[in-house]
Structure 1
């Protein structure tokens, strides 16, 4: 790359990493009188471990892919609770909702007003993000994604006002994550790092975070899938996820995520799973344009050296399949007739497609869905 673009890096004001660190949230929030915890029915089980002072309200109606109605309900809960602090206690969906609730509950702006980059007017409410999966890296980032069920597309909000005051990476919260979810979210974290690393917008500083991320996934993902209570592996994956989240702010993802999104919005696949299914094909498609970086990724993930496109795709497919991920779209309910709609939708996500190192036509995208079918 001749001249690296300018990047702006936002990170949480405070980051706490380690087993048992969920208990640091309460002492940090000592002066808070009212808190709204946003969670799922499962992650709500960790609420006592936060040791929060004052009044604590809970909103736990968060589905796998949050939609506009989810955000509206969470905002209504916040307007009742009038919190000084919002805590996102969960995975990416929970943390994405928490960001927007913290920024919007006490103001006039709506989701439509803030969609896109840098439209959020400000934020007075404190925000703590406590991750319970190792995948999206949402705790590190300035973006929130909400699904519009009518359009079948994701609305992306991006603003420095969505960054957390405190982020907590406590591997103990991920011990109970099932192997299938561990595998899919781990591949999502890896995809964030790999797509940013090979992007047209790649930057030497972000390359460092990306490298640390995909090396950690190569080292620890299979271990965590095999033994959920492997503390070292769980912590390694939480760091990989966090590094992936850092990559998203200044550089963002590319074709892999664009191609995964319709599988979430239209086929209702979990985000990590959708990424895993298309990952091998996108990696191989981009190989000729970013050969050196692709070789570095392949080695870090244990695929071997000097691979052809076909061998690279096969090795990446085996990596995901060996983690127990079902890699066939047909097995997940897709039909041949769906694929052209998926391809049209994915190709239209220019904010990501334009970052891809190799240009992709609609037919190229359709080819990737066919290969994944």
Structure 2
């Protein structure tokens, strides 16, 4: 194994995995006097399963794409509660907000102060991250994203101080996730792994996590979509999501996520759905630049790119078979929006520069048109 460059891996020091793992948060948190739980309206109902000690405050107003106002409201809730433990209980948006709240509530830094890499002053509060979806892998990572509603862009924060002290992967918390959301978030988890795997900054160590994640998606995603109560499939997808989150740290995503972001911030598609629509197009676009790794992905997902339609049709079929509506036009996009989406996506250089094949604005626009 040739280690082409040095990397730094950050992982939560404690990870609880398995059915019922959420019940182990309370014993771990013993001694906490004031606990703030950040959740969405849909996930706050799981708070009792955590068996948390002390005085518990729940802030459950975090939507699917949290913006600056939402984050500031959560920060205000933390400053009122003065917690010695912050718990994120939800999908990626909730977990991202929890990271930032734990790092910033007891300080004076603003989002502008911390945007970018390694600008967070330091976390003063313990953080537990309890995932309720299998998609973003945010519980594993050191990045957080908040939407700026003025520009429609994502504010990206990266710091080791955002790393959870405890990450919990309890498949029982995903049993009620609807099939459509299970499919979209599962494809998002796969996209994290695939984009890191085929990345210009790819690394053999991260390739190992990516391969495990892609293999798990190939084995378990369709099962989890068919039967939400399939514990083995749900746990397999939570692990795939976690591995994808690890991939994001030292390598990150590439063009696929760059193209998905305008669909979230401007078209208001859920992040997982946006990635599911874009994934096949970018996989096929990059095939010529990463043929061996792309072939590995195709085998793991049991695609048949040798057919007349090639890899793009096979990958689109994989997503459609999971129940994903793959046409942007069916999700409210209009043809006159596509050029603006393309300009915005092409400008996200922190991701586009990672792509294994250079992509012009016209290339991006062609992908949006093909997905339209």
In the alignment, what sits opposite 1:295?
Answer: 295
> Is contact 1:129–1:167 with CA below 8 Å preserved after alignment?
yes
**Distance in 1, Cα, partners of 2:288 & 2:40:** 42
Asked whether the equivalents of residues 4 and 202 of structure 1 are also in contact (C-alpha less than 8 Å), the reply is: no
Render the CA deviation track for 1:143-177: whole Å, top value 9, x for unaligned: 00000000000000000000000000000000000
Alignment of 1:153-168 (within 5 A): 153-168=153-168
CA-CA distance at 1:113 after TM superposition = 0.2
The corresponding residue for 1:116 is: 116
User: Structure 1 stretches (4+) deviating beyond 4 angstroms?
Assistant: 305-308
Contact 2:305/2:313 (<8 A) preserved: no
In the alignment, the residues of structure 2 paired with residue 109 and residue 315 of structure 1 have an alpha-carbon distance, to the nearest angstrom, of: 47
Q: Gaps spanning 5+ residues in structure 2: where?
A: none
Superposition deviation, residue 3 in structure 1: 6.4
SS in structure 2 of the partner of residue 128 of structure 1 = strand
Match of 2:249 in 1: 249
State the alpha-carbon separation in 2 of the partners of residues 266 and 59 from structure 1: 26
Residue 365 of structure 1: aligned partner: 364
CA distance in 2, matches of 1:279, 1:91: 20
Q: Report the secondary structure of 2:62's partner residue.
A: coil
Structure 1 residues 366 and 305, CA, compared in 2 at 3 Å: closer, same or farther? closer
Aligned residue number for residue 232 of structure 1: 232
**TM-superposed deviation, 1:2:** 8.1
- In structure 2, the residue matched to 1:204 is 204
| DSSP-derived class of the 1:155 partner | strand
Equivalent residue number for residue 318 of structure 1: 317
Cα deviation, residue 304, structure 1: 3.1
**Contact 1:295–1:306 (CA<8 Å) still a contact in 2?**
no
**Distance in structure 1 (CA, Å) of the matches to 2:360 and 2:238:** 35
**In 1, are the aligned partners of 2:2 and 2:204 still within 8 Å (CA)?**
no
Partner Cα separation in structure 2 for residue 227 and residue 313 of structure 1: 27
Q: Distance in 1 between matches of 2:334 and 2:302?
A: 33
Deviations 1:333-362 (CA, angstroms, capped at 9, x unpaired):
101100000000000000000000000000
- 1:243-264, Cα deviation, whole Å (9 max, x unpaired): 0000000000000000000000
How many residue pairs end up in the alignment? 372
Cα distance in 2, alignment partners of residues 222 and 20 from structure 1: 23
2: distance between equivalents of 1:321 and 1:4?
A: 37
Asked if the contact 1:299–1:305 (Cα under 8 Å) also holds between the matched residues in 2, the reply is no
Deviation, structure 1 residue 4? 1.8
Instruction: Report the TM-score, using the length of structure 1 for normalisation.
Output: 0.98
Is the Cα–Cα contact under 8 Å of residues 84 and 126 in structure 1 kept in the other structure? Answer: yes
Q: How far does the alpha carbon of each residue in 1:213-255 deviate from its partner, in whole angstroms, 9 at most, with x for none?
A: 0100010000000000000000000000000000000000000
- Does the aligned pair in 2 maintain the 1:127–1:166 contact within 8 Å? yes
* 8 Å contact kept, 2:221–2:233: yes
Distance apart, 1:5 and its partner CA: 2.5
**Aligned partners of 1:146, 1:360: CA distance in 2, in Å?**
26
Partner of 1:39: 39
Contact 2:3–2:203 at 8 Å: present in 1 too?
no
- What is the SS of the residue equivalent to 2:315? helix
Is residue 305–residue 312 contact of structure 2 (8 Å, CA) maintained in 1? Answer: no
Corresponding residue for residue 75 of structure 1? 75
* C-alpha distance in structure 2 between counterparts of 1:40 and 1:216, whole Å: 27
Instruction: Provide the rounded CA distance (Å) in 1 between the counterparts of 2:4 and 2:177.
Output: 39
Contact 1:188 1:272 in 2 (8 A): yes
